[in-house]
Structure 1
Amino acid sequence: MSIQCEVKSVESLACNTYRILLQPKQQVDFKAGQYLLAVMGEKDKRAFSIASSPCRSGELELHIGAADHNPYAMEVVEAMRQAMEGGRAFDVEAPLGDAWLREDSNQPLLLIAGGTGFSYVRSLLDNCLSRGMKQPIFVYWGGRDECQLYAHDELVALAAKHANLTYVPVVESAPPAWQGKVGNVLEAVNDDFVSLSSYDIYICGRFEMAGAAREQFTAEKGADRERMYADAYAFI
C-alpha cells in the first residue's frame, strides 16, 4: 500500500546512523518486525526495517546506516531531509515482510542483529516488553566497534529493568574497558548455547549472516528451521 508521510525529523545518532521519524497521513497497520519501501522513483524502492512497534503511536521510526560509501541508504536520508525542509510528503509502501513476531508462541526468544539490523530487533523487543511477555528473551547485537551499537545504553537499562531480558553486545574491535564480547555475533551465540531447539529465532543483518545462522544453528544447535525468521530468507 502506498502511503504519503510527513518527515517529522532526521536525527544523526552515531557512526553514520540516522533516526528518521515519519508521520503517515493514514493509519498503517503493521506487525512488529515488518519493513517498508522508501519510494525514490517508480522503479526505485528501497527496503528498511520499521524500528517502531505497532503498540506505540502512529509514527514510523527508521534507523538507517548511511555511510558515504553506501549511496543506497545515504540517498534516502538526503531525500527525506529535503522533503522535511521543503514541507513535502515522502512516499513509502508498507507493510511488507513475513519475519514478523509470532505473538501466539510461548517459546523463548533469540533476537540477533548485525549493525542497523537492530532496527528490526528493536521493534520486536519493544512489542514483547510492552505486552508483558514473560518468556526469556536474549538479544545479541553485533557491530564492528562500540560506536555501531548506538542503543547500547538503552538496552543495558532495559535488561536491568526486565528480569527475563538478557542483552549481549558483541564487537569485532573493542576498547580496553569493553564489558561485552569480542568477535563475531554468531560465534558468540554458538559459544553461549548448547541447544537452540526450543527457541524462536529472529535475525536481521547482511544476507550472508542470516544464511550462515540458519545453516549453523540447524546443523550444530538443533534449531528448528521453521522457527527461524529473517526477511533474508525470502531471497536466499
Structure 2
Amino acid sequence: MSIKCEVKSVESLACNTYRILLQPEQQLEFKAGQYLLAVMGEKDKRPFSIASSPCREGELELHIGAAEHNPYAIEVVNAMKSALESGQPFEIEAPHGDAWVREDSDKPLLMIAGGTGFSYVRSILDNCLSRGVSQPIFVYWGGRDACQLYAHDELQALAEQYSNLTYVPVVETAPADWQGKVGNVLEAVNNDFISLSSYDIYLCGRFEMAGAAREQFTAEKGAERDRMFADAFAFI
C-alpha cells in the first residue's frame, strides 16, 4: 500500500546513524518485524525495517545507517531531510516482509542484530515487552565498535527493568573499559548456547550473516529451520 507521510524529525544518533520519525497520512497496519519501502522513484524503492512497534499508533520510526560510502542509504536520509525542510510529504509503501514476530508462540526468543539491523529487533522487542510475554528473551547486538551500538544504554536499562530480558552487546574492536563481549556476534551466540532447538530465532543484518547463522545454528545447535526468521532468507 502506498502512503504519504509527514517527516516529523531527522535526528543524528551515532556513527552515521539517523533516527527518522514519520507520521502516515492514513492508518497503517503492520506486524512487529516488518519493513517499509522508501519511494525514491517509480522503479527505485528502498527497504528499511520499521523500528517502532505497532503499539505506537500514528508514528513510524526508522533507524538508517548512512555512512558516506553508502549512497543507497544517505540519499534516503537526504531526501527525508528535504521533505522535512520543505514540508512536503514523503511516500512509502508498506507493510512488507514475512519475518514478523509470531505472537502465538511461547518459545523463548533469541534476537540477533548486526549494526542497524537492530531496528528490526527493536520493533519485535518493544512488541514483546508491551504484550508482557513471560518467556526468556535474549538480544545479541553486534557492531564493529561500541559507537555502532547506538541504543546500548537503552537496552541495558530495559534488561535491568525486565527480569526475563538478557542483553548481550558484542563488538569487534573494544575500548579498554568495555563490559561486553569482543568478536563476532554469531560466535558469541554459538559459545553461549549448548542448544537452540527450543528457540524462536529472529535475525537482521547483512545477508551473509543471516545465511551463516541459519546454516551454523541448524547444523551445530539443533535450531529448527522453520523457527528461524529473517527477511534475508527470501533472497538467499
TM range (shorter): over 0.9
Q: Kindly report the root-mean-square deviation, in angstroms, between the aligned alpha carbons of the 2 structures.
A: 0.3
- How many angstroms apart in 1 are the aligned matches of 2:72 and 2:60? 20
Q: Does 1:194 align with 2:200?
A: no
Cα displacement (A) at 1:57: 2.4
Corresponding residue pairs, total: 236
Report the TM-score, using the length of structure 2 for normalisation. 1.00
1:101-140 equivalent positions in 2, closer than 5 A:
101-140=101-140
- 1:34 Cα deviation after fit: 0.1
Deviation at 1:32, TM superposition (A): 0.1
Residues 28-67 of structure 1 aligned to structure 2 (within 5 Å): 28-67=28-67
Q: How does 1:1-236 map to 2 (within 5 A)?
A: 1-236=1-236
Q: Which runs of 4+ in 1 moved over 3 A?
A: none
Residue by residue over 1:193-233, the C-alpha shift from the partner in whole angstroms, topping out at 9 and shown as x without a partner, is 00000000000000000000000000000000000000000
CA distance in 2, matches of 1:178, 1:115: 17
Instruction: Give the aligned residue type for 1:178.
Output: W
Which runs of 5 or more structure 2 residues have no equivalent in the other structure? none
Distance 1:107 1:87 in 2: 45
| TM-score w.r.t. length of structure 1 | 1.00
3-state SS in 2 of match to 1:30: coil
Runs of at least 5 residues in structure 1 that lack an aligned partner in the other structure = none
Displacement of 1:58 after TM fit? 1.4
Give the superposition deviation at 1:56.
1.4
AA aligned to 1:234 is: A
- 1:163-187 CA-partner distances (Å, limit 9, x unpaired): 0000000000000010000000000
